[in-house]
Amino acid sequence: MEFEFHVTLSDLSQQEKQTFIRICNEENVKPVLIELDQGEHIHQPMITGIVHSEDFQDVQRVIEEISITFRNNGFTVVRTKVEIPAKEERFFKQPIVPQSRPYFEWHGKVQVEDVNRLKHICAGTEGHISRNSLHKNGSIRFVTVREYEHADHFYRSVEEIHNILQSNQIELLKQQYELCIYDSREELDRGWI
């Protein structure tokens, strides 16, 4: 199975960002500087990587190793997440990790010149806006849908976003459907989700 992991660090100074990117490159993981459009924790520097395995313990080992590397370089790890493809729905009702609360998540990548317009058309939907500030193109944004209760509601919410984007001539550049099977600190998204 493909596991995608995220390790979120506390906010970075400008000088720390260069070190963060360098270490990510050395460790063959992707650096992402998430910037939420609202919430209590707007800036969320994150490391993302993939582990192919049938054993969740392998993913935990990789997360611990990468976390140690960053801690040893003066960074503070504040959150870890593990996601699998959303089609692995059986793990929504039967969590891989005891005491975890799995949730579905969809990310749609769009390019817009008027971010306020995107926020306006997504208002009243399940869509939440963010960006990766490492992208040189400041008009790239992500629309995220998260669902904790029902797979059907998740897919309907994503379909609603698809329809809204299409009716507003906003092209969906890329999309990803995921099932988050472990999230150590969901509260970092308070005020955003």
The string of pLDDT tens digits covering residues 37-65 is 999 999 999 999 999 999 999 999 999 99
Q: Is 124 exposed, middle or buried (0-12, 13-18, 19+ CB in 10 A)?
A: exposed
Q: What angle do CA 120, 187, 15 make, to 5 degrees?
A: 85
Specify the pTM. Answer: 0.94
All residues at 6 or more sequence positions from 25 whose CB lies less than 8 Å from its CB, including other chains: 31
Task: Give the pLDDT of residue 56.
Answer: 94
Q: Does the pLDDT at position 19 exceed 90?
A: yes
Task: Give the pLDDT of residue 68.
Answer: 98
Describe the crossing of helices 56-72 and 14-26 by its angle, rounded to 10 degrees.
Answer: 140
Q: How far apart are CA 54 and CA 120, in angstroms?
A: 42
- Partners of 83 in the β-ladder: 4, 180
Q: How far apart are CA 153 and CA 74, in angstroms?
A: 42
pLDDT in tens, 73-115: 999 999 999 999 999 999 998 888 888 899 999 999 999 999 9
Task: Give the pLDDT of residue 23.
Answer: 97
Task: Give the pLDDT of residue 75.
Answer: 98
Measured over the CA atoms of residue 58, residue 64, residue 67 and residue 73, the dihedral's sign is negative
